[in-house]
Structures are given as structure tokens and as C-alpha cells.
Chain A
């Protein structure tokens, strides 16, 4: 009798486990990192009216793009990250029905924009560290 009961509970646990595995089909996590992190802290390195274009190139390296303006250039540095996570609950064997899908994409960027005057000296700059706002999931 004890053996029959044990077999029955074994089958029940196995059935529930299989059902859970079938239903909890997949979880996908993706990470994309593009570019290089901004090397230095702009607050410490850039002094408007003093820092020159040559200094900026030496400290931060080549900009990711340059915008020409009639009163001076703009240098833009960017580092982008994309975190995505997807959870799908579906029955993939018999009906292929998806019961639930959760998808989350976070795309953040660190950017540094530096405005130069006509003489090639920094007029002003803006820095935003967006990648710090990314949550792990």
C-alpha cells in the first residue's frame, strides 16, 4: 500500500514539474554595449574659457561626431547601452499558445557635448550619465 502511495505522489510531482516546465517556457536577457565609456570626469577636466580643442582631444580622445557651426565646432562623445529582458509563458508542444509575454527594453547613453568658440577654446559643455539609470533586469 505504502509503495502504491509513493508511486502516486511521485507521478503527481513529476506531472506538476513537467507542466511547470512547459508553461514557464523562456526568459531571455540581452545586453548591448556600444562605444567606449567617457574616459574622465568632465567636471574635473574641462574649464570653459581655458581648455582648448587639443586638450579635449588628448583627454577624451576622438569625438564620435563633430558638428560645425558658424561660431565654432561642437564635439559629441557617446557611450550607449541597451538592456533587454523578455519573459514568455507558453505551451510550446500541443497548442503553441503564448499565455503571457513581458518585454522590457532600456536604452541609455552617456553623452558629453562640448561647444567651442571660434578660437578653439571650450565655451560650454553638457554631460549626462544615463547608463547609471539602467536597472539589472
Chain B
């Protein structure tokens, strides 16, 4: 009887565990100079300085490929990171960590998508009025 249980347990073990796992990483957008964010001074820093430090803002470009995929897959529903306004500069760096376990009887997949996001509002003189900053990729 012991042999029966040992064989059955052996078969189940092989079927459940002799398979694979997936690990994926996706990065999109310019890696922002986080240390430069603290140099932004509302009322002082100009639009030119911002562009010099962080490069061209992304809100004047088409949505990032990754955000487009997420929208197409109906994962996010509404548009993400849309700032089609001249007095707003937006910078975004996306990171996705994908992991999964593929077994014969059970599969598990997980995707975590986080963003570093900087949005700067300009006043009529093209100086920073206020800004918001989030280092989302640290949460991964």
C-alpha cells in the first residue's frame, strides 16, 4: 500500500512541479534625474531650465507604447497621462515587473506596473507655478 501512495504522490509531484516560471521586466521612457526634482523652485525655475534638465516633455508626444497596450487590453480603461496643455509639462518613466509560474495543473501570472511621474504647471511668465512628483518605481 505504501508503494501505491509513493507512486501516486510521485506522479502528482512531477506533474505539478516539473514545469517553468516566467520573469519579465519592461522599462519605458527616460530615466528621470530624481535628484534634479528638488532643485525645482516654484516662481523661480523657468521652462527652459526644466527642458534643459529633463529633456523634451512627453505630453506633446503620442502615448507611450506600454500605456497604449494597457489601454488596448482594457486594463486601464481611461487614458493615462494625458496633458495636452501648453502650460503643463509631463515626464513619465514606466516600469513593469512580470512574473509567473507555469505548472501543469495550475498557472499564476502577475504584472505590476509603476511609474515615476513628474508634472509641472507653468505660470503666464513660463516659470514653474507648482509641480507634483511621485517615485512609483520604488514601490516595486
Chain A residues proximal to chain B, CB less than 8 Å: 6, 9-10, 13-14, 17-18, 21, 24-36, 53-54, 56-58, 60-66, 68, 76, 78, 80, 82, 107, 109
Contact = CB atoms under 8 A, between A and B. Distances in A.
B118 A36 contact: no
Given A35-B113, A35-B136, A10 B119 contact: no
Contact of A24 (B11, B70, B105, B115): B105
Nearest to A12: B4
A82 to B, nearest CB: 6
15 contacts: A10-B7, A13-B4, A14-B4, A14-B11, A26-B106, A29-B107, A29-B108, A33-B112, A34-B76, A35-B136, A36-B139, A57-B121, A62-B131, A65-B78, A78-B76
Closest 9 CB pairs of A and B: A62-B132, A61-B134, A57-B132, A62-B119, A54-B130, A28-B107, A31-B110, A36-B136, A33-B112
Contacts, number: 115
Contacts of A9: 4
A61 B132 contact: yes
Given A18-B11, A21-B105, A63 B75 contact: no
